[in-house]
């Protein structure tokens, strides 16, 4: 990076604070910047660059500490300089200008406000915003005469307002680069349309690629409800003089950007992963085939079936070309079964469609004060009206949207969307109502039968679980500290991102309670994530039980649990990552077992015994593991053993050496006979399991996989036979 010994001509080089959104941002200021020099502030850098293989020179802003040069803003994107003679400076008229050596202007801020140039300061904020301000009058106001955040190129940065300022007529929208070597304005754009009901669009020239749907008071129409806590705080501000979108990462250290990509014609959100030294794609819009604009054409509605899209005509409509429709050519759309008779009583009506992305509002009329009933009447009285809906779905709904002509770009959104009322003939409406009535009768009858069966099941289960619930209640009363799990709570979105959405490529294995995945947190820390399957026998109590024990127990031969996550149906345990996975992968594999010499096996045995002694004697809780086996012994990078999986563990008092259970759980082959037969467990149960494990480590054979002289043995029988024959 170049230094700046010549950057200050008439202005002093100062650092001062400017308030932005209640946070202090420092401006690194300058008066003149030459090609070869850069201006640095926080995570960003401003200077001259040449993209890809191009020799053209541009002034831009990029991430400072990212080795892959990632440009987020370009000043002279459509007017490059052909050599390295460029100078960026404040002109006597009070503008920031970019000139080449012959005095040609290649870019300017073009502000017309008359100010004293002696007080002007230009510089770079830590947020990546390049600003021009009056140092004397606006030092602490956060007001800028000009700022790059008002003129984005292809990237949205955290804190940037993206949308319309109706007073200043700023339309902050994105325009993609032409290609990787050319930052000039391409054909792909993304921005908000200027409307009483804001919505955003991705376009290729004049052709629409994606439409977000109008803002309905909660979200944009095509936006689906999130099933997990996201990594970002996203907000849409909708006021009389402006409407805009902006976002901030929950973790301020997280580097992120939203960019419109010319190559794939999509809006993409990227996150920088320091450990991998690369940008990871976090979100892509359009998300799926149904997000593609007007997928099903007029009066057609799109639904995702797995990863494929499927189009259907709305009720009361049929395909214009049934032959094309049958081969999934939906371009001609749908038409009415029969025309309605406008404003004739009992001749036309409306069919309600739930959870849909409403049609394109290009040919629509909007009232923010009208009730839904008045909206219906107004639509019915206009022969050109094809549908109506609320403009705001918060509370009981308010406002009115009325559509004219064909309904375009609709999709089904099972867990979001809103109600849409489509005009249809009275016959279609009656048929649909009759169908609904039949459905209600069938549903009511079915539900009654299910309720009766359910009551029988409840009574049966209640008797079985009465004793179990009583014991659990007593345990909770005596151990109220269970509620204080003493472990960090992890964000589900962060874990989902860390495991690449629980990709099979990251899957380490699968036990009786669910799969385990390898992951990497944003700070580069490797983790193992145990994800309980929804059908797992391990419920919330077993899960909390494991979290409780892992928060209380600390020993070098017990696996370390970093935290947990409970969200809706998801239950996750986050462990330290064990490089060599589990002991059974070495013991029972002919090639890997060669790495376990006798000294290594002895060290593993000693480590397991130390962990077991800690559980039984030295910890502040007396713990019986109840599921000690080779797959529950994990090995770190140094092959040191660590006991894992405390989901079935039980806690005993200091004077209690055994317990009893009616629910025998664990792994057959490792269970002590008195536990497997009578449900009696004690520290001796673990010692028995340890003995089986000891024989497996010594022999390298599974307890139930031994064959000798055409007779089947387990390891205990084999050991006893050798003992009695005096060969052991």
pLDDT tops 60 at residue 347: yes
Residue 9 lies in a domain: yes
Q: Are residues 590 and 444 in the same domain?
A: no
Pairing mode, strands 170-171 and 348-357: unpaired
The CA radius of gyration of the chain, in Å to the nearest whole number, is: 34
**Model confidence band, residue 370 (pLDDT cutoffs 50, 70, 90):** very high
* Predicted local distance difference test score (pLDDT) of residue 54: 93
Q: Distances from the Cα of 6 to the Cαs of 38, 240, 714, in angstroms?
A: 12, 46, 83
Domain boundary among 287, 321, 343: 287
Residue 723 lies in a domain: yes
Cβ–Cβ < 8 Å for 10, 3: no
Q: Are residues 508 and 555 in the same domain?
A: yes
Please tell me which residue in 25, 627, 645, 686 is annotated as part of the active site.
627
Tens digit of pLDDT for each residue in 386-443?
999 999 999 889 999 999 989 999 999 987 889 999 998 765 554 555 555 555 555 6
Tokens of 274: 């320091």
**Model confidence band, residue 21 (pLDDT cutoffs 50, 70, 90):** very low
Residue 158 lies in a domain: no
Tens digit of pLDDT for each residue in 513-548?
778 899 988 777 889 998 887 655 555 666 766 777
Domain boundary among 370, 404, 431: 431
Instruction: Report the C-alpha gap between 541 and 473 in whole angstroms.
Output: 11
Question: Looking at residues 605-615, what average pLDDT do you find?
Answer: 93
* Predicted local distance difference test score (pLDDT) of residue 479: 40
DSSP string, 421-481: EEEEEHHHHHHHHHHHHHHHHHHHHHHHHHHHHHHHHHHHHHHHHHHHHHHHHHHHHHTGG
CATH number at residue 554: 3.30.200.20
Residue 600 lies in a domain: yes
Domain boundary among 226, 259, 287: 287
Query: Mean pLDDT, the chain, as a whole number?
Result: 81
Cβ–Cβ < 8 Å for 429, 351: yes
**Model confidence band, residue 653 (pLDDT cutoffs 50, 70, 90):** low
* Predicted local distance difference test score (pLDDT) of residue 531: 87
* Predicted local distance difference test score (pLDDT) of residue 426: 60
pLDDT tops 50 at residue 673: yes
Question: Looking at residues 355-364, what average pLDDT do you find?
Answer: 93
CATH number at residue 48: 2.90.10.10
* Predicted local distance difference test score (pLDDT) of residue 706: 52
* Predicted local distance difference test score (pLDDT) of residue 346: 57
Of the ranges 76-90, 312-326, 447-461, 636-650, which one carries the lowest mean pLDDT score?
A: 447-461
Residue-number span of the structural domain to which 196 is assigned = 163-287
Of the ranges 346-350, 475-479, 625-629, which one carries the lowest mean pLDDT score?
A: 475-479
Residue 280 lies in a domain: yes
For the entire predicted model, the pTM comes to: 0.60
Count of structural domains within the chain: 6
pLDDT tops 60 at residue 691: yes
Question: Looking at residues 42-48, what average pLDDT do you find?
Answer: 92
**Model confidence band, residue 11 (pLDDT cutoffs 50, 70, 90):** very low
Q: Are residues 612 and 469 in the same domain?
A: no
Which residues, in sequence order, are bridge partners of residue 516? 509, 530
pLDDT tops 90 at residue 107: yes
Q: Are residues 465 and 495 in the same domain?
A: no
* Predicted local distance difference test score (pLDDT) of residue 352: 93
| Active site (annotated) includes residue 406 | no
**Model confidence band, residue 170 (pLDDT cutoffs 50, 70, 90):** confident
* Predicted local distance difference test score (pLDDT) of residue 435: 53
* Predicted local distance difference test score (pLDDT) of residue 23: 33
Out of 5-9, 135-139, 528-532, 535-539, the most confident range is 528-532
* Predicted local distance difference test score (pLDDT) of residue 535: 58
Q: Are residues 361 and 442 in the same domain?
A: no
Nearest to 130 by CA among 158, 112, 150, 103: 150
Return the higher-pLDDT residue of 45 and 93: 45
Q: Are residues 298 and 257 in the same domain?
A: no
* Predicted local distance difference test score (pLDDT) of residue 117: 67
Q: Distances from the Cα of 546 to the Cαs of 289, 290, 478, 543, in angstroms?
A: 42, 42, 17, 5
pLDDT tops 60 at residue 657: no
Instruction: Report the C-alpha gap between 618 and 606 in whole angstroms.
Output: 16
Q: Are residues 633 and 529 in the same domain?
A: no
SS3 515: strand
Return the higher-pLDDT residue of 368 and 446: 368
Return the higher-pLDDT residue of 498 and 710: 498
**Model confidence band, residue 41 (pLDDT cutoffs 50, 70, 90):** confident
Of the ranges 86-90, 373-377, 467-471, 472-476, which one carries the lowest mean pLDDT score?
A: 472-476
Question: Looking at residues 569-582, what average pLDDT do you find?
Answer: 86
* Predicted local distance difference test score (pLDDT) of residue 24: 36
* Predicted local distance difference test score (pLDDT) of residue 314: 93
Tens digit of pLDDT for each residue in 266-313?
999 999 988 889 999 988 999 999 999 999 999 999 998 877 889 999
Q: Are residues 142 and 104 in the same domain?
A: yes
Residue 351 lies in a domain: yes
Return the higher-pLDDT residue of 367 and 116: 367
Q: Are residues 476 and 486 in the same domain?
A: no
* Predicted local distance difference test score (pLDDT) of residue 144: 86
* Predicted local distance difference test score (pLDDT) of residue 305: 83
CATH number at residue 659: 1.10.510.10
pLDDT tops 80 at residue 5: no
Q: Are residues 424 and 305 in the same domain?
A: yes
Out of 116-120, 594-598, 604-608, the most confident range is 604-608
* Predicted local distance difference test score (pLDDT) of residue 133: 87
Q: Are residues 465 and 584 in the same domain?
A: no
| % of the chain beyond a pLDDT of 90 | 37
For the CA atoms of 219, 220, 222, 228, what is the dihedral angle to 10 degrees? Answer: -30
Residue 156 lies in a domain: no
* Predicted local distance difference test score (pLDDT) of residue 105: 93
Question: Looking at residues 366-394, what average pLDDT do you find?
Answer: 92
Roughly what angle, to the nearest 10 degrees, separates helices 598-613 and 683-699? 170
* Predicted local distance difference test score (pLDDT) of residue 568: 61
Q: Are residues 1 and 120 in the same domain?
A: yes
Residue 476 lies in a domain: yes
**3-state secondary structure string across 680-722:** EEEHHHHHHHHHHHHHHHHHCCCCCCEEECCEEECHHHHHHHH
Q: Quick one: DSSP state of residue 57?
A: B
Q: How many Cα atoms occupy the beta-carbon half-sphere of 590 within 13 Å?
A: 0
């Amino acid at each position: 990076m170049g230094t700046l010994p010549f950057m200050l001509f008439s202005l002093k080089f100062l650092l001062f604070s400017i308030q932005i959104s209640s946070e202090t941002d420092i401006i690194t200021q300058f008066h003149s910047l030459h090609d070869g020099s850069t201006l640095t502030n926080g995570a960003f850098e401003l200077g001259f660059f040449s993209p890809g293989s191009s020799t053209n020179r541009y002034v831009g802003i990029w991430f400072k500490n990212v080795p892959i040069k990632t440009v987020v803003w370009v000043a002279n994107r459509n007017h490059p300089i052909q050599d390295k003679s460029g100078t960026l400076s404040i002109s006597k008229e009070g503008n920031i200008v970019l000139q080449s050596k012959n005095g040609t202007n290649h870019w300017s801020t073009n502000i017309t406000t008359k100010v004293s140039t002696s007080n002007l300061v230009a510089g770079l904020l830590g947020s990546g915003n390049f600003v021009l301000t009056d140092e004397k009058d606006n030092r602490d106001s956060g007001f800028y005469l000009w700022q790059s955040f008002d003129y984005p190129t292809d990237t949205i940065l955290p804190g940037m307002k993206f949308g319309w300022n109706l007073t200043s007529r700023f339309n902050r929208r994105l325009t993609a680069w032409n290609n990787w070597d050319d930052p000039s304005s391409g054909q792909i754009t993304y921005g908000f349309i200027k409307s009483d009901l804001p919505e955003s669009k991705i376009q290729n020239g004049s052709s629409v690629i994606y439409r977000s749907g109008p803002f309905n008071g909660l979200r944009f129409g095509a936006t689906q409800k999130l099933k997990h806590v996201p990594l970002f705080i996203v907000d849409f501000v909708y006021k009389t003089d402006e409407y805009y979108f902006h976002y901030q990462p929950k973790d301020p250290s997280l580097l992120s950007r939203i960019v419109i990509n010319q190559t794939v014609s999509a809006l993409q959100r990227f996150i920088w992963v320091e450990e991998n030294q690369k940008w990871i794609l976090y979100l892509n819009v359009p998300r799926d085939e149904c997000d593609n604009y007007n997928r099903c054409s007029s009066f057609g509605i799109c639904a995702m079936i797995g990863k494929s899209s499927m189009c259907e005509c709305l009720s009361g409509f049929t395909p214009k070309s049934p032959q094309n429709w049958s081969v999934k050519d939906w371009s001609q759309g749908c038409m009415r079964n029969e025309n309605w008779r406008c404003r004739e009583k009992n001749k036309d009506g409306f069919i309600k469609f739930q959870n849909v992305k409403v049609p394109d509002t290009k040919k629509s009329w909007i009232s923010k004060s009208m009730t839904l009933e008045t909206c219906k009447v107004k639509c019915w009285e206009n022969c050109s009206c094809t549908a109506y809906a609320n403009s705001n779905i918060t509370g009981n709904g308010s406002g009115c949207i009325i559509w004219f002509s064909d309904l375009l770009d609709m999709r089904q959104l099972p867990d979001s969307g809103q109600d849409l009322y489509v005009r249809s003939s009275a016959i279609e409406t009656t048929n649909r109502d009759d169908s609904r009535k039949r459905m209600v009768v069938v549903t009511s009858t079915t539900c009654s039968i299910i309720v009766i069966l359910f009551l029988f099941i409840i009574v049966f289960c209640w008797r079985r679980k009465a004793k179990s619930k009583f014991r659990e209640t007593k345990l909770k009363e005596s151990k109220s500290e269970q509620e204080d799990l003493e472990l960090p709570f992890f964000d589900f979105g962060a874990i989902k991102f860390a495991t690449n959405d629980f990709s099979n490529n990251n899957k380490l294995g699968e036990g009786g309670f669910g799969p385990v995945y390898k992951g990497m947190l944003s700070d580069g820390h490797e983790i193992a994530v145990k994800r309980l399957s929804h059908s797992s026998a391990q419920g919330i109590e077993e899960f909390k039980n494991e979290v409780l024990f892992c928060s209380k127990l600390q020993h070098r031969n017990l696996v370390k649990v970093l935290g947990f996550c409970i969200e809706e149906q998801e239950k996750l345990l986050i462990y330290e990552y064990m490089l060599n996975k589990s002991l059974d992968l070495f013991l029972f594999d002919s090639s890997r077992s060669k790495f376990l010499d006798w000294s290594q096996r002895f060290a593993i045995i000693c480590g397991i015994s130390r962990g077991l002694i800690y559980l039984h004697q030295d910890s502040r809780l007396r713990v019986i593991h109840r599921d000690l086996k080779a797959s529950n012994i994990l090995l770190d990078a140094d092959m040191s053993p660590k006991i894992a999986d405390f989901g079935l563990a039980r806690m005993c008092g200091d004077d209690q050496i055994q317990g009893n259970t009616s629910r025998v759980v664990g792994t057959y082959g490792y269970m002590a006979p008195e536990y497997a037969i009578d449900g009696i467990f004690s520290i001796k149960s673990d010692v028995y399991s340890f003995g089986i494990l000891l024989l497996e480590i010594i022999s390298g054979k599974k307890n139930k996989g031994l064959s000798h002289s055409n007779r089947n043995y387990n390891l205990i029988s084999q050991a006893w036979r050798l003992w009695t024959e005096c060969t052991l």
